Amino acid sequence: MSTTVENIQRQISENPILIYMKGTPQLPQCGFSAQTVQALMACGERFAFVNVLDNPDIRAELPKVANWPTFPQLWVEGELVGGCDIVVEMYENGELETLIKETAAKHQDDEQPEG
């Protein structure tokens, strides 16, 4: 049976764009998660998410793994981008969309081609 840390590492490695958040993209459960996911959705690419409220083991372990104490956390290609303030700032200056679109383009062969 895999440990929580192994699960986190697998999630991060298998999902090029991943947000750990409170709630879901459709129903965020905190203002910071809401702002972060709105910025991410505005970039127009698919992304994975983990609701840490449904996964208390991940909620407890991820801050230690990431060395980042709060949620949400945006991970892109295995690297922690940051939390709400950083993601919103990157969105406002255009960096986030560039990063997300470039990452999505690199990984688009992982998904079905668009018709």
Known binding-site residue numbers for glutathione: 22, 59, 71, 84-85
Residue list, annotated binding site: 22, 30, 59, 71, 84-85
Query: What pLDDT sits at residue 1?
Result: 61
This prediction has a pTM of 0.92
Cα–Cα distance, 91 to 60 (Å, whole number): 28
Please give the annotated binding residues for [2Fe-2S] cluster, written as ranges.
Answer: 30
> Which domains does the chain carry?
4-110 (3.40.30.10)
CB 31 within 8 A of CB 87: no
pLDDT (tens digit per residue) in 56-100: 999 999 999 999 999 999 999 999 999 999 999 999 999 999 999
